[in-house]
Amino acid sequence: MSCLIVQSDKTLLLEVEHEQAEQARTAIAPFAELERAPEHVHTYRITPLALWNARAAGHDAEQVVDALVSHSRYPVPQPLLVDIAETMGRFGRLQLSNHPAHGLVLTALDRAVLEEVLRHKKIIPMVGARIDEDTVVVHPSERGRLKQQLLKIGWPAEDLAGYVDGEAHAIALEQDDWELRDYQRQAVQSFWAGGSGVVVLPCGAGKTLVGAAAMAEAQATTLILVTNTVAGRQWKRELIERTSLTEEEIGEYSGEKKEIRPVTIATYQVITRKSKGEYKHLELFDSRDWGLVVYDEVHLLPAPVFRMTADLQSRRRLGLTATLVREDGREGDVFSLIGPKRYDAPWKDIESQGWIAPAECTEVRVTLTDEERLRYATAEAEERYKVCSTARTKVPVVRTVLDRHPGESALVIGAYLDQLHELGEALDAPIVEGSTKNKEREALFDAFRRGEITRLVVSKVANFSIDLPEASVAVQLSGTFGSRQEEAQRLGRLLRPKAEGRQAHFYSVVSRDTLDTDYAAHRQRFLAEQGYAYRIVDADDLLGPGVPEVS
């Protein structure tokens, strides 16, 4: 009996313990998005974007239908098969290409589709003269925005206009004492075959090395966009260690420095900084003839960078991320402006190969004191989450959790500064927050890596792109409401492999009967989709009798 159930609502149920489960999962992965991955049955969903991703990666409707029919336990609903064929058939009926006489053009394989889209008000300003009944000139600067708009109206264009090589610059991997892992090599090959797109790998799985290998393929000047200065300096250290690049060849373009070199690492913050209503650092994109643009943590790409990326369609673009989940729902913009998903490795697959640490996730539920409960009940709606997530009742719980892991390196994570300072004092631990100077941040992170500090209290500045492989315990008390991205990134701080294969421990301390519980459930959804199960325990069972409350 087959392991897959295909349902008419476009969901696929995969029985994971079935002997053919891995074969079926591999067959459906190119065109179905994993939604939930609890213990026994994983749920995938077929969406238009997933089907267009598959088409962009070279899969056709016949292959998709064959995969479903071959692995389905029951007959596949006929309307679903028709819908798949028709949805995939919409991709590529419009093509962007370079015309020898007219430059960038939009060509229709179906004339009626061209007539339809040329009547959209937002598309009319992006195109020029009609060359013939099937072809219209496109303003080169509108290549990205046109793709964006065509996707929104359901006619995604196939971009065949190609890429410029950019300014040549020699870059080689130096693999004396290491080598690319199989999945990293596959990710680079998949990206390079398509020219632009997104690679999805878990935190700790070596996305930076995928970026470095792509740079070695490009052999060209490269612009790398990162979330913050500390992350940028980590990229620089890794590139110097793993490639032929020297310190002099790598520039930092941040709030502190404005260096433009053959490889330039810039922060999203400085790129999106406005002066008198204008983005004054836009010249960075035109400062070199870039052959490759790398977007680290592409799921966090700010809206202004999307707009800037629309002008970079002739450059090869690589997006790196642990999750394509965007809380703003702009996954379609990632597809049209950065490129389709070229490679995706499930977290549990990488864990089973030993490349990331196994992790135990625990939600610790605390009961607010009568005074805290009353304060929560009478708070204004916009203040309620802060009141319940910063309850002082959580402080002794954090202390107890850390005492259960003596000698292990631990991160205590929160979103509110008052809470962070209270925790820093209670735990006698240094604090890293937004106002902490980069030099001090790096000194604290280095001391943590060396084991001189075993506890750090951190704000959301440590959510992204911070390499702290020694951390094996994390306790979070508050976050950005129900952000699934943030939950994934915070667990990701712990997933670097540990000595002796030790397990990582991720705790969420949550106030029961409040918004804190609701948001926690939403935050955990992405990790549940990746196969991580949360165990719920009562704080009283951890604390035991006689533990004093915080006054």
pLDDT tens string 227-239: 888 889 989 999 9
Would you say residue 105 has pLDDT above 90? yes
C-alpha 509/C-alpha 528 separation (Å) is 17
Residues 138 and 150 reside in one and the same domain = yes
Q: How many domains are contained in the chain?
A: 4
State the burial class of residue 221 (Cβ atoms within 10 Å of its Cβ: 0-12, 13-18, 19+): buried
Residue 138 in contact with residue 146, Cβ under 8 Å? yes
Residue 120 in contact with residue 153, Cβ under 8 Å? yes
**When comparing pLDDT for 128 and 325, which is higher?**
128
Residues 454 and 483 reside in one and the same domain = yes
Would you say residue 551 has pLDDT above 50? no
Q: Is residue 67 part of a domain?
A: yes
What does the pLDDT read at residue 137? Answer: 96
| Helices within 433-533 (DSSP H only) | 438-450, 484-492, 515-523, 525-529
Q: Is residue 496 part of a domain?
A: yes
C-alpha 536/C-alpha 542 separation (Å) is 11
Q: Is residue 168 part of a domain?
A: no
pLDDT tens string 415-465: 888 999 999 999 999 999 888 888 888 899 889 888 899 999 998 776 655
C-alpha 203/C-alpha 184 separation (Å) is 13
Would you say residue 498 has pLDDT above 50? yes
Residues 256 and 276 reside in one and the same domain = yes
- Name the token pair of 274: 């406005």
Nearest alpha carbon to residue 318 among 202, 228, 164, 194: 194
Across the range 351-366, mean pLDDT stands at 86
Residues 369 and 335 reside in one and the same domain = no
What does the pLDDT read at residue 170? Answer: 96
Residues 146 and 202 reside in one and the same domain = no
Would you say residue 547 has pLDDT above 60? no
Q: Within a 10 A sphere around the Cβ of 461, how many other Cβ atoms?
A: 17
Q: Is residue 548 part of a domain?
A: no
**When comparing pLDDT for 501 and 355, which is higher?**
355
Would you say residue 469 has pLDDT above 80? no
Prediction pTM value: 0.79
Mean of per-residue pLDDT scores for the chain: 87
Across the range 199-219, mean pLDDT stands at 92
Residues 377 and 325 reside in one and the same domain = no
What does the pLDDT read at residue 545? Answer: 47
Q: Within a 10 A sphere around the Cβ of 121, how many other Cβ atoms?
A: 6
Under the banding of pLDDT at 50, 70 and 90, the label for residue 262 is very high
Q: Is residue 550 part of a domain?
A: no
Nearest alpha carbon to residue 141 among 154, 127, 129, 153: 127
Domain boundary among 59, 90, 121: 90
Nearest alpha carbon to residue 167 among 258, 282, 97, 261: 261
Backbone angles phi, psi at 72, to 5 degrees: -80, 135
Residues 43 and 117 reside in one and the same domain = no
Find the Cα–Cα–Cα–Cα dihedral 175, 181, 183, 184, rounded to 10°.
-30
pLDDT tens string 268-277: 888 888 777 7
Would you say residue 400 has pLDDT above 90? yes
Q: Is residue 173 part of a domain?
A: no
Residues 140 and 206 reside in one and the same domain = no
**When comparing pLDDT for 551 and 483, which is higher?**
483
Output the domain CATH number for residue 331: 3.40.50.300
pLDDT-wise least confident of 191-205, 246-260, 485-499, 500-514: 485-499
Residues 382 and 515 reside in one and the same domain = yes
Please give the angle made by the CA atoms of 92, 93 and 94, to the nearest 5 degrees.
80
Range of the domain at 221: 182-351
Residues 119 and 256 reside in one and the same domain = no
Distance of CA 305 to the CA centre of its chain: 15
What does the pLDDT read at residue 209? Answer: 95
Across the range 68-96, mean pLDDT stands at 95
What does the pLDDT read at residue 107? Answer: 96
Q: Is residue 428 part of a domain?
A: yes
Residues 113 and 126 reside in one and the same domain = yes
Under the banding of pLDDT at 50, 70 and 90, the label for residue 361 is confident
Domain boundary among 322, 351, 380: 351
Residues 75 and 101 reside in one and the same domain = no
Would you say residue 481 has pLDDT above 60? no
Q: Is residue 164 part of a domain?
A: no
Would you say residue 113 has pLDDT above 70? yes
pLDDT tens string 501-525: 678 898 989 999 998 888 888 777 7
**When comparing pLDDT for 470 and 50, which is higher?**
50
Domain boundary among 304, 331, 351: 351
DSSP β-ladder status, 33-36 and 41-45: antiparallel
- Tell me what percent of the residues of the chain surpass a pLDDT of 70: 93
Nearest alpha carbon to residue 458 among 482, 496, 494: 494
